[in-house]
Amino acid sequence: MAAAAAVCRLLRGVSSISVSNTSRLLSTTSPPPYRSSNTNSPVAFDWSDDDADSSSHPPPSTAKKDELPPPYYDPFSKNPAVAEPSDPTNLQEIFHRMRKEGLTDYAIKMFDGLSKDGLTHEALALFAVIKDKGAMPDVVAHTAVLEAYANAGPAHWRDAVRTYDRMLASGVMPNAYTLAVLVRGLAASDRCAEAGKYLVEMLDRGMRPNVATYLAAFEAYLRMGKVEEGKALLETMEGKGFVPDEEAVRGGTVKRGQVFDGIMNLLFGK
């Protein structure tokens, strides 16, 4: 608990840096220069979006550090570490808030997600960069934009994939949280083949998808009536060492009805 609170204080301490950097990052229209392959590289992230406010830069925050108390953060809570936008389809407002408020909340969400998946070392490495360099890692910035598109609904799934491709082209490596956000967003948009593709990529990168992530993908296959394709994906994943956790699956999906029966049959032959 003390370590978690210290992380929040650290993030809030660099919030003014995050605001000024994010304003520049989201408004630039220049093509992305070469980036370090380090996932937590703190170098600048170049991005262009369709927000009508992109031509203006909000001024850097002038608030003192002690005017930004750390939020309460419980690493053992099942509740979201940060409140989600009231309207995830309002991308203009979401990107405006990124410019105005910076990426602190997105960094906290990433830290929370990595920690709850047991990737504590990777989570702490993320914040070591913030502490040592005084800047947000590129992976946070790219993932924030990707997550906005992923949560905005089926009309924006291509934007989410395009953001991920641009992230790789910039030399910024994703972490498990990045790919989990992409898989779940694609699954929610019923893009089951694309969700399956990135599940396999997670395994190829040595990442272990959590139950919420692979359940989202396989439930999408069921919704779309593509059971055989789902079984083919499972076979591919098992060939790469993946083993679904039956107890976790039982706890992570509806306990009765066609969805539950379909998932149990697809993943475990029951």
Tens of pLDDT, residue by residue over 115-171, are 999 999 999 998 888 888 878 899 999 999 999 999 999 999 999 999 999 999 999
Which one is predicted more confidently, 231 or 99? 231
* Cα distance between residue 258 and residue 188, in whole Å: 18
Name the percent of the chain lying above pLDDT 90.
54
Give the chain's domain count: 2
Question: Can you give the pLDDT at residue 234?
Answer: 98
Are the beta carbons of 103 and 18 closer than 8 angstroms?
Answer: yes
Confidence label for 42 from pLDDT (cuts 50, 70 and 90):
very low
Same domain, 156 and 220: no
CA 96 to chain centre: 19
**Residue 62: inside a domain, yes or no?**
no
Choosing from 139, 174, 209, the residue where a domain stops is 174
The reply to whether 98 and 170 lie within a common domain is yes
Q: Is residue 17 part of a domain?
A: no
Tell me which residue range forms the domain holding 121: 90-174
Q: Averaged over 227-256, what is the pLDDT?
A: 91
Same domain, 132 and 197: no
Least confident window among 68-77, 129-138, 235-244: 68-77
* Domain shared by 100 and 151, yes or no: yes
Extract the tokens encoding 46.
């170049």
Question: Distance (Å, rounded) from C-alpha 110 to C-alpha 106?
Answer: 6
Per-residue model confidence (pLDDT) at position 245: 95
Single pTM value for the model = 0.76
DSSP states of 214-261: HHHHHHHHHHTT-HHHHHHHHHHHHTTT----HHHHHHHS-SSHHHHH
Q: Which of 90, 94, 96 is nearest to 27 (CA)?
A: 96
Domain end residue (candidates: 174, 204, 231): 174
Is residue 54 assigned to a domain? no
